[in-house]
Structure 1
Amino acid sequence: MLRRLALTAVASLAVLSATAPAATAGTGPLPLLPIPLPLPSALQGDDGTGKTQLRVTVSDSGDREADGVYELQCLPAGGTHPVAQQACDRLAELAQPTDRNGGAGPFRPVPADTMCTQQFGGSATARVTGTWRGQPVDASFDRTNGCEIARWNTLRPVLPNVR
């Protein structure tokens, strides 16, 4: 049975391959129809999922250059963020097509029932507000335990490298 199906498929392909050029010989090639193509996302001004425009406020990092308020917009990368392009690239890496946990992606807080190492990573705090991929963001960051330190480090260079 399988052999018969394979032979039928091969024979059908041979017939179609032979008749297709003959069918267009009298009329010439098929006309090309203009098909509008979407612009690459970098030229559209967003990533197709919505704008990214964030305000990052960092304090008590122990580094006067890292502390401050920075504006970050992506596609195109800009604003007052010191490494805007790298920050936008990192946010693009962290974007997940489907987020089972409610959408906030890298800005999602550590779940309350998570067990975290009790280590202190410094007194640095950050707050990120605005929109990421068209979704509202209002997230606070600190370095009070292992989970929060990991969460902060995941978002570098959007958040500064502090120790």
Structure 2
Amino acid sequence: MRMRFVRPLLAVLALAGLAACSGTPTPGSTGSATQAPSSAAPSSNAPSSSAPTTSSQPATPGQGNAELSITLLETPEAAPQTFTLVCAGGTPAAESKHPSAAEACATIKNSPAILSPAPTRTDQACTMQYGGPATATVTGAVDGKEVTAAFSRTDGCQIALWDAAKSVLGSDGGL
């Protein structure tokens, strides 16, 4: 008789958990598929006023103008790689020194908020997975707005941010 009530209860709890993980973000929240980079320290859960998300910003194309310096560190033992990305109207300029400049410029034109800072939520749940030691920093300007962003692969949320911006970073994180 007791099992008769336990199974439906477990089913309801499982559905509620799935709904909480895969639902559409509410206004002011962040969903892992629409986030932009976090500039918080990779192992810190403290809020950062310069950690970006894109849920509160419209997903409209930008002008596609960018002047960025990207520093990529694939492993702690490796020497950092530095790329220059210059885009005009979503097209790479001749002075760009980036491994996938055309794709990176297109990403910036289609999603300029991918590098824009916004407040971080401290109550966001992230999967406890490790995507590797790769880190990247991006500084410069996109469509006339200053950009300073840091990327890592220390948990599920950071991996999602990396994956969204990987063409701009010049790496897939060593995967």
TM-score tier, shorter chain, comes to 0.5 to 0.7
What are the Cα deviations for residues 33-73 of structure 1, in whole angstroms up to 9, with x where unaligned?
xxxxxxxxxxxxxx9858410000001348969x5000001
How far apart, CA to CA, are the structure 1 residues paired with 2:75 and 2:166?
14
1:55 aligned to 69, 76, 91, which one? 69
Alignment of 1:106-121 (within 5 A): 106-107=114-115, 108=117, 111-121=121-131
Write the mapping of 1:81-92 to structure 2, written as runs, cut at 5 A: 81-92=98-109
Counterpart in 2 of 1:155? 165
Which sections of structure 2, spanning at least 5 residues, go unmatched? 1-60
Cα distance change of structure 1 residues 68 and 82 upon mapping to structure 2, 3 Å threshold: same
- CA-to-partner distance for each residue in 1:79-100, whole Å, 9 max, x for gaps? 10111111101112213xxxxx
- Work out the percentage of aligned pairs sharing the same amino acid: 34
What corresponds to 2:111 in structure 1?
A: 94
Structure number with greater CO (CA < 8 Å, separation at least 6) is 2
Aligned residues: 107
Decide whether aligned partners of structure 1 residues 80 and 154 sit closer, same or farther in structure 2, where only a CA change above 3 A counts: same
Alignment check: 8 A CA contact 1:130 1:138 kept: yes
Q: Assess, with a 3 A threshold, how the Cα gap between structure 1 residues 61 and 88 changes in structure 2: closer, same or farther.
A: farther
Q: Could you tell me how far apart the structure 2 residues matched to 1:114 and 1:57 are?
A: 27
Q: Which runs of 5+ in 1 are unaligned?
A: 1-46, 96-104
SS at match of 2:167: coil
Indicate conservation of the 8 Å contact 2:65/2:109, yes or no: no
CA shift, 1:153, in A, is 0.3
**What residue is the counterpart of 1:73 in the other structure?**
86
| Aligned-residue RMSD, C-alpha | 2.6
Residue identity opposite 2:172 in structure 1: N
Scaled by the length of structure 2, what TM-score is found?
0.54
TM-score of the pair, normalised by structure 1: 0.58
Distance 1:82 1:116, change over 3 A: same
Q: Give the counterpart letter for 1:68 in structure 2.
A: Q
Aligned match of 1:136: 146
1:17 is aligned to: none
3-state SS of paired residue (1:155): helix
